[in-house]
Amino acid sequence: MSKGSSSSSKKAKKEDKTQLKKGSNHSIEASDYAYDVTAVNNTIRGKSQDVKGKVVFLTFDDGIDPTLTPQVMDILKEYGVHATFFHIGYTITPENGDILKRQITEGHAIANHSLSHNFNLLYPGRVPNQSQITTEVDQTMANFKAILGKDFKTRIFRYPGGHMSWQGLEGTDQALAKQGVQWIDWNMLCGDAEPLSVRPTTSESMMAYMDGSQKYFPETTVKVVLMHDTAGKELTVQTLPQIIEYFKNQGYTFGVLE
C-alpha cells in the first residue's frame, strides 16, 4: 500500500469527536469539560469539595422550545461556552429531533426533567409519587434514545420544582439511584421562573437577582445556574450574553454535567 493511500485510510478512520460518546449524555469532545454530577451535587450542597476551582454550569430547564432553545444555542456558540439542557420528555419529538442532535454536536449535555412536568401527577397533594416519577424518568429516557440512538444515556435528573421544594423524596432518590440516576438542583438562579411579583423584568434586574441568589446556598466557587429556555423566557435569552460575561470576567471555566 502506498503512503498516500495509508494516509487516506487513517483520515477515514479518524474519530469524529462531535459524535455522541457511547453510554453518555454528550459528545466525545465534551468529555474534556464534563464533570460527574454526583461530585458537583455534593460540592454545591456543601457536603464535599469534590470539584475544585471556579467552575460554572449553565443549566436550562423545560425545553425543548423550537424557537427559544436554538436561540440559546446560538448565543452559547457565539461565546464558545457550553450548557446542560434539562428537557421535558413530551418535548422530545421527531419534530424537535434536529435540535437535540445539534446539542450533542455542539458540545452540550442533555439531562432528564421528567416526562410531564405536571406537579399534580408527580407530587399529588405535595406528596411525591415514587412510581410516577421513576416511570416518567424511564419514559423520557426512551424518548431520548428514539432520537439519539441506543448508545445515549443520561444519569442526570432534575425534579420539576427542584428537590429542595419537596419533602419525602428519600425513597424516590434511592429508587433513582438504583437505576443509575442522580438528581441535582442549583445554587444560583436568574429568577425567570419566580412569582411575577419578584420576577426580574429587565436584564439589569435579572443580573442583580442572579448575583444575590448565591447567598441562600453554601459558599463555593462551583456554581450551577438555573435558567429556562421555554416560551415566555425571552428576557433570559436577551440577558444570556451578560450572564456569560459575568462568569468569564470572574475567571470561571464552563462545564457540563455527566
CB atoms within 10 A of CB 142: 12
In 3D, which of 46, 111, 117, 52 has the Cα closest to residue 83? 111
Q: 21-257 in CATH: which number?
A: 3.20.20.370
Query: How would residue 15 be classed by pLDDT, with cut points 50, 70 and 90?
Result: confident
Query: How would residue 8 be classed by pLDDT, with cut points 50, 70 and 90?
Result: very low
Question: pLDDT tens digits, residue range 133-147?
Answer: 999 999 999 999 999
Q: Where are the domains of the chain?
A: 21-257
Question: How far is the C-alpha of 66 from the C-alpha of 234, rounded, in Å?
Answer: 13
Q: First vs last Cα of the chain: how many Å apart?
A: 42
DSSP 8-state symbol, 20? B
> What global pTM score does this model have?
0.94
Question: pLDDT tens digits, residue range 32-79?
Answer: 999 999 999 999 999 999 999 999 999 999 999 999 999 999 999 999
Question: pLDDT tens digits, residue range 201-228?
Answer: 999 999 999 999 999 999 999 999 999 9
Can you give the pLDDT at residue 2? 44
